[in-house]
Amino acid sequence: RDAAESALREAVEACGRGDADLEALRAAINANTQAADGSEALRAARLLRDDLAERRTREARALKRQRQKEEKAAAAAARAAERAAEQAEEARAAEEARVAEEADRVVAEAAAARAAEEAEAASR
């Protein structure tokens, strides 16, 4: 029993120093559960195991939320870029239409001026 309790205490201390992780603590608990049944060392190891597991779960949830926020922001940025590209295309098409209309107007004015010159020349 003393050896089991000592192993559990060492596992708890190793976790406290950062030398061991949740899986190592679980392994120590599983290996010494029967021999250290009812001991303070086993209770402390189980409490620490539960705390570490809860911390891991909280960290995983926080990472998931962060990843979701980043994905949402990336999607919003992609939508904004798409809207900007569409607006740029619409502006380009509108400018092309304006230029074409201006060219048609200039051609029509030139044709009218030529027709007027020809009519004036014919009337002389």
Closest CA to 29 of 1, 55, 49: 49
CA distance 81 to 84: 5
pLDDT in tens, 38-85: 899 999 999 999 999 999 999 999 999 999 999 999 999 999 999 999
At CA 13, angle to CA 41 and CA 62, rounded to 5?
A: 105
CA distance 24 to 14: 9
Determine contact, residues 3/27, Cβ cutoff 8 Å.
no
Q: According to the model, what pLDDT value does residue 49 have?
A: 93
The verdict on pTM exceeding 0.95 is: no
| 20 pLDDT more than 80 | no
Q: Among residues of the chain, what percentage have pLDDT more than 90?
A: 70
